Amino acid sequence: MTIQDLLQDPLVKMNERNFQEQFKKIAENLFKYCYIKCGAKKYYFAEIEFYYYDKNEENGLNKEWNEKTYPRDKKYAGELFFHYSGVDICFDSSYEKGKFGGILIRSLKEGCGKYITGPTVCMLEILNACSQEMPRLEMLNENKEYNIDNLCNPIARYGIEYANKEMKDEPLCFFDKKLYEKYTNKDTYKETFENARWDYSKKKEGRLNRYYHRFD
């Protein structure tokens, strides 16, 4: 099994009735079998979002394209694509064929257990962790498989706004259950992410708390 197989085979089988199911298969593959390699560091997935456009009427995904899905050309499945909002794992993409997209990395878990949160912060972490070689998506070759029961049911993507208010965003964001349970527990609120943004509405005892915006 290759990274191409993990990312592209579900797309081949995708249609208007099963696209959420196929995206879930890809999410399971990434959480269970893959990681981002940056030099000597490994980053595992904690939260990802799907963005995909295909003008082909047969697959049922021919909704009007909008700027939420960055066009990309001549990208292969598994290639990292850096953009203004962060970094994606690409699908095989061709702008000329009207088929492109990828998976936005929203949160990562470093091998030592530290969580890195936010798309831009993840991108900077990945780039800064590399020295002489570029970061890349790799498959696990060790006896360490992700417990797929920890993958939560998908929810709507974060911060998506459409000009057409009637358009409802599909639940295409997948995240780790342990991530959710840990950072929605009020008793451990002070243990929130080191790199999350400041929350001025929760100022206590003269000190600002950081919090993770997905689960507040």
**With helix as H, strand as E and coil as C, how does 35-94 read?**
EEEECCEEEEEEEEEEEEEECCHHHCCCCCCCCCCCCCCCECCCCEEEECCEEEEECCEE
Question: How many alpha carbons fall within 13 Å on the CB side of residue 63?
Answer: 16
178: nearest Cα among 202, 149, 211, 145? 149
Give the pLDDT confidence score for residue 17 in this predicted structure: 80
The answer to whether the beta carbons of residues 96 and 41 sit under 8 Å apart is no
pLDDT along the chain (216 residues), means of 10: 88 84 93 92 93 74 65 87 91 86 92 82 90 88 71 80 60 83 52 45 47 44
pTM of the entire predicted model: 0.81
Domain spanning 3-190: which CATH class is it, in words? alpha beta
User: Rounded to whole angstroms, how far apart are CA atoms 216 and 212?
Assistant: 7
User: Rounded to whole angstroms, how far apart are CA atoms 172 and 153?
Assistant: 9
SS3 at position 209: strand
Beta strands 34-38 and 80-83 are unpaired
Give the pLDDT confidence score for residue 208 in this predicted structure: 43
Burial 141-160 (b: 16+ CB within 10 A, else e): eeeeebeeebbbebeebeeb
Give the pLDDT confidence score for residue 161 in this predicted structure: 63
Burial 170-200 (b: 16+ CB within 10 A, else e): eebbbbbeebbeebeeeeeeeebbebbeeee
SS3 at position 36: strand
**Rg of the Cα trace of the chain?**
18
Give the pLDDT confidence score for residue 23 in this predicted structure: 93
Question: What is the residue extent of each domain of the chain?
Answer: 3-190
User: Rounded to whole angstroms, how far apart are CA atoms 13 and 123?
Assistant: 30
